[in-house]
Amino acid sequence: MNEFFTFLILSLFVVMSPGIDTALITKRTISDGRKDGYKMALGITTGSLVHTLAAAFGLSALLMQSAVAFEIVKYVGAIYLIYLGLSSFITRRKKNVTNSDIYNDDEVKKSAFKQGLLSNVLNPKVAMFFLTFLPQFVKTGENATQQLIIMGVIYTLLSISWFFIYVFFINFLRDWLMSPKVKIMMDRATGLVLIGFGLKLAFDKQQ
């Protein structure tokens, strides 16, 4: 029971700590509203389930042991994050809105879930986290795979609960945050954060 309580507390601190997920959800909620913020959160937490299953069935271990596989996934994820960051600056330059632009914008908004999912799944550091964090609380002599899946689901539920609360309150500030000057500042700030995380991921070495 004490180990489970420790797992809950540590997981909650990890979930609430600012990072790539927070930057993505903040940017999406401010630019497109609460609904898209929720979709982004669902995409990110679905990615956590993917990593949970991968860790439980040994795929993450294989990824960590293969330098080539790690490097490929790492650079793909880094490029994707840098792309998301750069898009914050590129979209600010668009002034004229055509029917085509509206259509494309609608398509982008529909991709909130996929954007969150890809940003999480393509980050090998998340795989490493699940592979190293969850096993610390596995009880010997019992079904390790089942324990890992249960802990991963609990972690995911904590994540989605926190993200939904976060999006709910961020949405209240949306009118102020949507003012032109503040929006440009927030877009650039979150863009720089995503680019920074992408560069960090690209230059991080396999442990």
Residue 62 CA to residue 155 CA, distance in Å, equals 22
Which of helix, strand or coil describes residue 186? helix
Nearest CA to 155 among 65, 69, 49, 30?
49
Q: Quick check: 196 pLDDT over 80?
A: yes
- Judge whether 12 lies within some domain: no
- Judge whether 19 lies within some domain: no
* pLDDT at residue 177, as a whole number: 63
Residue 154 CA to residue 135 CA, distance in Å, equals 14
CB 164 within 8 A of CB 41: yes
- Judge whether 139 lies within some domain: yes
- Judge whether 120 lies within some domain: yes
- As to burial, measured by CB atoms within 10 angstroms (0-12 exposed, 13-18 middle, 19+ buried), residue 87 is middle
Number of folded domains that form the chain = 1
Query: What is the domain range of residue 70?
Result: 2-7+24-203
Nearest CA to 47 among 16, 66, 71, 24?
24
pLDDT tens column, 183-192: 677 677 777 8
pLDDT tens column, 127-155: 877 877 777 777 766 677 888 889 899 99
- Judge whether 14 lies within some domain: no
Q: Quick check: 193 pLDDT over 70?
A: yes
What's the pLDDT band for 100 if we cut at 50, 70, 90?
very low
- Judge whether 57 lies within some domain: yes
DSSP state of 128: H
Q: What is the pTM of this model?
A: 0.69
Residue 152 CA to residue 80 CA, distance in Å, equals 25
- Judge whether 144 lies within some domain: yes
CB 77 within 8 A of CB 122: yes
Residue 131 CA to residue 159 CA, distance in Å, equals 17
Query: Mean pLDDT over residues 85-91, rounded?
Result: 73
Residue 135 CA to residue 174 CA, distance in Å, equals 40
Nearest CA to 194 among 111, 115, 106?
115
What's the pLDDT band for 95 if we cut at 50, 70, 90?
very low
* Six-digit token string for 192: 């720089």
- Other residues' Cβ atoms within 10 Å of the Cβ of residue 95: 5
CB 197 within 8 A of CB 79: no
- Judge whether 15 lies within some domain: no
Residue 131 CA to residue 128 CA, distance in Å, equals 5
Residue 25 CA to residue 186 CA, distance in Å, equals 12
Q: What average pLDDT is seen over the chain?
A: 77
What's the pLDDT band for 41 if we cut at 50, 70, 90?
very high
